[in-house]
Amino acid sequence: MQAIRLRIFVHDFIRRAMGGADTPASRREIVRRFREVHRHVPCAHQPAELLIVAEAILTSPVAGPVVELGCYLGGSTAKLSLACRHTGRRLIVCDSFEGLPAPEADDEVHRVLTGRVKRYEVGAYRGTLETVRENVRRWGAIECCEFVPGLYEETLPKLDVAPAVVFEDADLIRSGRTVFEHLWPRMPEGAKLFTHEASVDTFTRAVFDPVWWHKTLGECPPMLYGAGYGFGQHAVNLGWCQKR
């Protein structure tokens, strides 16, 4: 059943081509290349999730680069780079390239609304910069990529960009808050931020906490579409919000 849903989703993804350079043929090629990446690089996401992010890149009227936060072994990076090449955008890849930092007490165990429990430990999801570069070189568009190694609290304050699309897969509350603190104010109106933690109740409650937002950013948190349940069984962890 899930395979049938994915085929329907892919069919609709191709059918929604906007015209110009974004044609059904170009989207079929993106689907083909994404499947190739997924076969050869271990990925921590479902195939449809990155197609949803790719469609936002292909159709965004907002100028600016794409920023990825948390790339694991580079599967998502390779896919995003292909969408960036198609639209002439830069892809800025931010990761420690040493795995997760040591989780604080409120980040060691997270609860998903389905009842599943996720446990994080230092070094999890580690992919070296050399590994990520090689996977993107082989399966993506390395020429579109700029790699920013280091912890977010060290690199994001110095990252002078106004991203059109952000893809955050940072896992930890501390990291997610750092992403919003430093990137959200720089995003132009209409820009979209995707999170891969939409199904993690403990993460979304903390990162989208109104008290934290008012204290840190001086505004209400945005609406998180997909909160709790993602976008169905083919994209269970993905949610997004838009800068208004």
Q: What angle do CA 6, 191, 197 make, to 5 degrees?
A: 50
What letter would DSSP give residue 41? S
- pTM for this predicted structure: 0.96
Element (H, E) at 165: strand 165-168
Integer-rounded Cα Rg, in Å, for the chain is: 17
- Sign of CA pseudo-dihedral 149, 99, 142, 184: negative
Tokens of 155: 């690199």
Q: What's the pLDDT band for 1 if we cut at 50, 70, 90?
A: low
- Summarize the confidence of residues 137-144 as an average pLDDT: 98
| Segment 88-126, tens digit of pLDDT | 999 999 999 999 999 999 999 999 988 889 999 999 999
> What's the pLDDT score for residue 226?
95
- Sign of CA pseudo-dihedral 242, 38, 108, 186: negative
| Segment 67-96, tens digit of pLDDT | 999 999 999 999 999 999 999 999 999 999
Mean residue pLDDT across the chain:
96
118 beta partners: 110
- Summarize the confidence of residues 22-29 as an average pLDDT: 97
Q: Collapse the DSSP code of 217 into the 3-class scheme (helix H, G, I; strand E, B; otherwise coil) and give the result.
A: coil
Tokens of 26: 């170009």
* Backbone phi, psi, residue 239, to 5°: -140, 165
Domain that holds residue 216: 2-242
Query: Is residue 220 over pLDDT 80?
Result: yes
Q: What's the pLDDT band for 5 if we cut at 50, 70, 90?
A: confident
Q: Specify the CATH number for the domain of residue 23.
A: 3.40.50.150
Query: How many domains is the chain partitioned into structurally?
Result: 1
Q: What's the pLDDT band for 203 if we cut at 50, 70, 90?
A: very high
| Segment 183-202, tens digit of pLDDT | 999 999 999 999 999 999 99
Beta-sheet pairing, 239-242 with 192-195 = antiparallel
Question: What is each CA distance from 179 to 8, 34, 77, 142, 174, in whole angstroms?
Answer: 33, 26, 17, 24, 9
| Segment 41-56, tens digit of pLDDT | 999 999 999 999 999 9
Determine contact, residues 216/177, Cβ cutoff 8 Å: yes
> What's the pLDDT score for residue 3?
82
> What's the pLDDT score for residue 4?
83
